[in-house]
Amino acid sequence: MNAQPHTGLVPILLIEDEPSVTAFLRAALERHGYAVANAASGAEGLNMLRGGKYSGVISDIRMPGAVNGAEVHAWIQKNRPELCARIILISGDTANSETQAFLAQSGTPCIEKPFRVQQLMTVVEKTFGKP
């Protein structure tokens, strides 16, 4: 658990298996005033969701292990209805037809890797609001 709650702020849960991407996202979000907790896999992300409180979730779609981004999304839909509209997906693989179908059906915002900091912040502020 790398949760390092920011003073007085409910953190955003960041689920991403790639450490360099996690590092960049954390740096970018924290620099813009957000608190960040991160999980290195889908399964770990679900554990944290069960035990903690988060202002929103940013999750990679394609991750190794038993739980991928789509399943995280589905779990939230079912168990954390208050977070339903507070999910941002990131993807390095929108070419995949399953991914496309999932995105089209859920209407969840998605940022394609690689992206500029400005792109990220626009979507984050729009979805989670300013910190």
Partner 1 sequence: MDAAQSRHLPGFLERFAERAARMLSARWCAVMVFRGRETDSYQTSSGKEPPDAAEHTSLVRYARELAKEIEVRQLADSGAATEPKKSKVAVFVPITASDAESLGAICLVCEKKPLGEQEQRLLRALASHAALSLENFRRFSQLERSKRQWVEDIDAISDYIVVHDRSWRVVRTNRSLASHLGVPPVALVGEAMSSLRQIAESGSDLPCPFCRDTQQAREEYVVASPERIFLVSTSRTPGVSDDDTRTIHVLKDITDRREAERRYRELFDSIQEGLFFATPDGRFLDVNDAMVRMLGYDARDELLRADVGPHLYPAAAARERFLLALAERGVLRNYEETLRRKDGTLLHTLQNITAVRDSRGNIAQIRGLMLDVTEQKTFQSQLQRERDFNQKILNTTQSMILVLDTAGLISYANRRCFEAGYREDELIGHRLVEWVETSHRSDFEDALETTAHGQQVENLELRVRRSDASMGHFSISLSPMRDEQNTVNSVVVVMTDITDAALLQAKLAHSEKMATIGRLVSGVAHEVNNPLAAILGFTDLLLENPQVPENAREDLQIILRETQRTKDIVQDLLSFARQRPVQRELVQVNSVLRQTIKLRSYDFASHGVEVVEEFDEKLSPAFGDSQQLQQVFLNILNNAYDAVQESGQRGRIAIRTRLRGESIEVAVTDNGTGITDPERIFDPFYTTKQAGKGTGLGLSICYGIVRAHGGEILCWNNSEQRGSTFVVRVPVANEATVAAAMAKEAGR
**Binding residues for partner 1, per CB under 8 A?**
18, 20-21, 23-25, 27-28, 31, 62, 92-97, 100-101, 112-118, 120
10 or 123: CB nearest partner 1: 123
| Distance in Å, CB of 60 to partner 1, minimum | 9
Q: Which is nearer to partner 1, 24 or 75 (CB)?
A: 24
Q: What is the smallest separation between the CB atom of 98 and partner 1, expressed in angstroms?
A: 11
Amino acid present at 86: R
- Shortest distance, position 5 Cβ to partner 1, whole Å: 22
Q: How far apart are CB 50 and partner 1 at their closest, in Å?
A: 27
Q: Among positive and negative, which fits the CA dihedral 92, 97, 101, 104?
A: positive
67, 18 in Cβ contact below 8 A? no
Measured from the CB atom, the residue of 31 and 53 that comes closer to partner 1 is: 31
Nearer to partner 1, 7 or 20 (CB): 20
Element (H, E) at 110: strand 110-112
Reading phi first (left if > 0) and then psi (alpha if -120 to 50, else beta), residue 8 is in: left
Q: Give the C-alpha separation, 88 to 123, whole Å.
A: 8
